[in-house]
Structure 1
Amino acid sequence: MTSPRPDAGAAPGSTASLRTANRHRVLDVLRDEAGVFTQAELARATGLAPATVSSLVRELSEEGLVEAEPGSGRRGSAVRLSRETGIVAGIDFGHSHVAVAVGDLSGRILGEYRRRLQDSVDHHVALADARTMLDSVRVGSARLRAVGLGLPAPIAGDVVQSSAIFPGWEGVNAREVAEEVFQVPAHVDNDANLGALAEHRIGAARGHDSSVYVKTASGVGAGIIVDNELFQGASGTAGEIGHLTIDDNGPLCRCGKRGCLEAYTSTPFVTREVSGQVPGADDIDKVVAAAREGNVAARRALEEAGHHLGRGLAAVVNLINPSIVVVGGHLAMAGDLLLDSARISLRRYAVDPVASTPVLPSALEGRASTIGAVLLAAERTTIVD
């Protein structure tokens, strides 16, 4: 059950001039909560009279915008957005993978598919692969309305900013090239930002006004929620914590600096640390499995990565003071093997008022950025004029 929307405080009117606004109240609740409601629940959520909701649901159902399934009595019928309103797609590109998901306009996932890509593949090839995947995962005959695109790189004005961080995409206006391929409006953001959006809406950070999502995989990045909104920064590149300097004399990072957090807290760091000591050490999943089975080298490598991650998190919570930190990405599949040492390090390096900030694993099992891409596309698509 949802809580009343902020604009539901004013008593809704019954004149014809308010009917359109009331329609939007119902549709917005169904979309924002991504769920199924009885008509009685919709009345409480929108602040509208039950009779008004019943009339609107009947009207919207006749127009094919909502689906109303029989329940216990007329006002007990289950109501959700109809697929006739269209679907959206979310596409999450990594350095060596692409994930595609399809959702309705509430952001509810209807189908998804993931596959590996050749490392640092050219954007033309990557988008063509995503187009083929989308065609295979489409659900029914619903019209594709928009796509959301997540990329692991700084993005300003839809343009990818760094060839060092994401080769094959530097200087590319990702929105324009995606719209050429998919022939629908495209919306682009950094993958960590989309992970933060998903965790805030439906994941571990739900109910928190301010939160930070940190994605730890082949790279490290953060998405920041402040007052329930994504914080993008002046040029749209806020959250690049993977390039905080940990050690001026540390290893050279792909960004061109030395000793970045990413060089100590990423899947390449962990796999290099256990090279020759764990069978199949080039595969982070095998390293995590070995650690769970008690392999000392694998456990130590994850603990060291967690220690450095905690130092980076300390800088973030000192500066932003979120109420929660959520850690996701491929490396975070190690769970407390990584996060226990991150929490200890956070307490050591953060100032006392924020040293106890909760650090939790993602609730979305490695899918946060993909789900966030679907949510981005859904939220920027108008259901009805």
Structure 2
Amino acid sequence: MPRDNVASPGSQTSLREANRSRIVAAVKRFGGLTQVELAAATGLSAATVSTIVKELAAAGVVETATTSRSGRRALRVTIARQAGLVAGVHVGPRSLAVALGDLAHDVVADQTLPLPVDHRADTTLDRAALLVVDLLEKVGASLDDLLSVGVALSSPVDAGTGLVTVRGALRGWDDVAVGQVLEKRLARPVHVDADASLGALAEHRLGAGRHTRDLLYVRLSYGTSAGLVLSGRLYRGGSGTAGQLGHVQVDPTGPMCRCGNRGCLDTEVGETALLDLVRPALGEVTLRDVVRRARDGDPGCARVLADASRRAGQVVAGIVTVVDPQLVVVGGELAQAGDVVVGALRESVRRHALPHRFSSADVVAGSLGTQAELIGALELARTETDVVEGVAR
């Protein structure tokens, strides 16, 4: 039976504020919970939850609606739409995606634009800011309604400054403080993280890993990276470079990688390596062409992607052995080829990871597809937005 904190009369106000914050944080995280589920999630009594929910609903912070759980009527609690909107931005190697979401985990508008190879930071961030404003206008809102912005960057970054932490990982972006640049353009708080980390966050909270505490998200795309959720929390490492699978050395005598080292995994399974393999037979094609052909049954493209997945799986197996996650979720463009990629990676992990007598990490496809990183950016913005009394602070 959950018990509320015991406090002296002089601390009742601060205790109530803390309990309100706990309830709002739980609703924000899960998108909507019944009052019984809120009590279980927060450790507060059902009576306290009921009282605070009524206060929050009267203040316009949450909305309630009658629903049914196990055949019984229940009251479902969600964040009120009028509490504000958040924006998510995913700056990928070949595309820019922007979305608006409310605090109930609904995407209310989104748009994607193609990007050229080695796109410029200033031009890309200008486009991102303009798209955010355009989408706000599209839904009848303004910058005053925007609470915060989350940015997923296809590079390891310092979460505090938004600076790329590994020179050359995102060419032309080395000295750009992404968060500060967008904050100047939008006059709103901006939070930046690596896209694979935010893909992990999204799949853990809303996707294939939402029932696990420990998760490894593997992003197979134009490059290879990963995100880690440990004990329910996103793990970034001491300098923000945790999960850089693509820069694990697999061949000391291999070709130079853009990071400056030789024989990184990306030199064998990244976009350039894959396209070099299929070009003699197919001519000039894109990575998406290869994925589509593999999904449609082209044996050559399927073999190339399966071999790459098995090679990546060897590196993933090392992480599985060391970290022992409950689940490995595979996302990114290559995962759209289905079991050609996911099955091959699963087979490789099972072959190379330390055998476990009783259980082993399952390997599954992500349920959010190529939107995982963008949804993760929205989740980052929501997480960093404190909504109590109907205002962001």
- Same fold? TM cut 0.5: yes
Q: Which letter does structure 2 place at the counterpart of 1:167? A: R
Partner of 2:232: 228
2:295 and 2:338 in contact (8 A); partners too: no
Query: What are the equivalent positions in structure 2 for 1:104-253 lying under 5 Å apart?
Result: 104-138=102-136, 139-141=139-141, 143-156=145-158, 157-158=160-161, 159-253=163-257
**Residue 21 of structure 2 corresponds to residue 24 of structure 1:** yes
Alpha-carbon spacing, 1:152–1:344, altered in 2? closer, same or farther (3 Å): same
Distance 2:86 2:38 in 1: 24
Question: 2 CA distance for matches of 1:253 and 1:213?
Answer: 23
How far apart, in 2, do the equivalents of 1:51 and 1:210 lie?
32
1:57 matched residue in structure 2: 53
Q: Does the CA contact (< 8 Å) of 1:105 and 1:379 recur in 2?
A: no
Give the distance between the partners of 1:85 and 1:61, measured in 2 at CA: 11
Which is further off, 116-125 or 10-19?
A: 10-19
The amino acid of 2:83's aligned partner reads: T
Q: Which of 356, 365, 371 is residue 353 of structure 1 equivalent to? A: 356
Name the residue aligned to 2:286. 283
* SS of equivalent to 2:175: coil
How far did 1:130 drift?
0.8
Contact 1:93 1:150 in 2 (8 A): yes
Distance 1:266 1:9 in 2: 52
Mapping 1:287-366, distance limit 5 Å: 287-353=290-356, 356-366=360-370
Deviations 1:61-116 (A, max 9, x none): 232212234669xx845432112221111111112211111122344322222111
SS in 2 for 1:170: coil
- SS of the equivalent of 1:103 reads strand
Instruction: Specify every segment of 5 or more residues in structure 1 that has no aligned partner in the other structure, as ranges.
Output: none
Aligned with 1:97 (options 92, 95, 98):
95
Measured after TM superposition, the shift of residue 19 of structure 1 is 3.5
Cα 1:350–1:40 change in 2 (3 A) is: closer
TM-score (norm 2): 0.86
CA RMSD across the alignment: 2.6
TM-score by length of 1: 0.88
Q: CA deviation at 1:11?
A: 6.1
- The 2-side partners of 1:190 and 1:298 are apart by 29
User: Where does 1:69-84 land on structure 2 (aligned, <5 Å)?
Assistant: 69=65, 76-84=74-82
Q: Aligned pairs, how many? A: 375
Question: Is contact 2:149–2:190 with CA below 8 Å preserved after alignment?
Answer: yes
Measure the CA separation in 2 of the matches of 1:343 and 1:215: 14
Is residue 161–residue 171 contact of structure 1 (8 Å, CA) maintained in 2? no
Structure 1 residues 357 and 76: alpha-carbon distance in aligned structure 2, compared to 1, 3 A threshold:
closer
Give aligned-pair identity as a percent.
37
Do 2:291 and 2:333's aligned partners in 1 also have CA atoms closer than 8 Å? no
Where 1:80 maps in the other structure, the secondary structure is strand
Contact 1:278 1:287 in 2 (8 A): no
Residues 267 and 330 of structure 1 are in contact (CA less than 8 Å); yes or no, is this contact kept in structure 2?
no
The amino acid that maps onto 1:20 is: E
- The CA distance in 2 between the partners of 1:256 and 1:240, in whole Å, is 14
Q: Shift in Å at residue 270 of structure 1? A: 2.3
Provide Cα deviations, 1:350-373, integer angstroms capped at 9, x if missing partner: 222399421111110111111111
CA contact (8 A) 1:147 1:186 kept: yes
CA contact (8 A) 1:250 1:258 kept: yes
Q: Distance in 2 between matches of 1:303 and 1:331?
A: 10
The answer for the alignment partner of 2:379 in structure 1 is 375
Partners of 2:157 and 2:193 within 8 A in 1:
yes
- 1:313 offset after TM fit, Å? 0.8
- The answer (yes or no) to whether the contact 1:12–1:48 under 8 Å persists in 2 is no
Write the distance in 2 (CA, Å) between the matches of 1:45 and 1:342.
Answer: 35
